[in-house]
Amino acid sequence: MSRVLATVLAAALVCASASAAEVFVTRDSQGRPVYTDRPESLPAQKLSVASQPTDAAEVQARHQADMAKQQEADKTSAAAAKKAAEQRQAKELSAADQAKRCQDARAHYQGLMNARRIYEPGSTPDERRYLDSAEMDASRENAKRVMDEFCTSP
């Protein structure tokens, strides 16, 4: 029993001496401070360092709180990145859609400009009503306006 008591007492003394170690500060050749427990040069200033035992439960709780904050920050960052990606994709789709509409409007306008006769479809697939000169000019002007609308950059 006395051996166990002696071992525990020795361990307690080692821990106590480790926490009560002396700390000195000296200056090196460039004048920067050097902290040590064994000063190589004198004069060395003895510092008073206070230490406290660490509470494992407090450290664990602080770690969990930090991890929760980090996870929340990661979620926020991921949500912002997802939103930015969606906006970028929508913008790309919008640009592609506008380019397609411009191409279609340009082809329609060119078709109207090259056509000698223009017609409107009737109520059945076989019926057609051909436009007169004034109506053809109005149709071409309308197609030009639509082409300009879709083919100009905002």
pTM of structure: 0.44
Work out the burial of residue 147: count CB atoms within 10 Å of its CB; fewer than 13 is exposed, 13-18 middle, 19 or more buried: buried
Evaluated on CA atoms 35, 39, 43, 45, the torsion sign reads: positive
Residue 9 confidence class, pLDDT cut points 50, 70, 90 = very low
What's the pLDDT score for residue 24?
Answer: 86
Average pLDDT, the chain: 83
Q: Output 19 or 143, whichever has higher pLDDT.
A: 143
pLDDT digits (tens, 9 = 90+) for 107-125: 999 999 998 989 888 888 8
What residue ranges in 9-145 does DSSP mark as E strands? 23-27, 33-36, 45-47, 119-121, 128-130
Three-class DSSP category at 46: strand
Q: Which of 71, 20, 74, 70 is nearest to 47 (CA)?
A: 20
The angle formed by the CA atoms of residues 91, 94 and 100, to the nearest 5 degrees, is: 145
pLDDT digits (tens, 9 = 90+) for 97-106: 888 989 999 9
Is it the case that residue 1 has pLDDT exceeding 60?
A: no
CB-CB contact of 25 with 34 (8 Å): yes
pLDDT digits (tens, 9 = 90+) for 13-62: 445 545 557 888 888 889 888 888 887 777 778 888 777 888 889 999 99
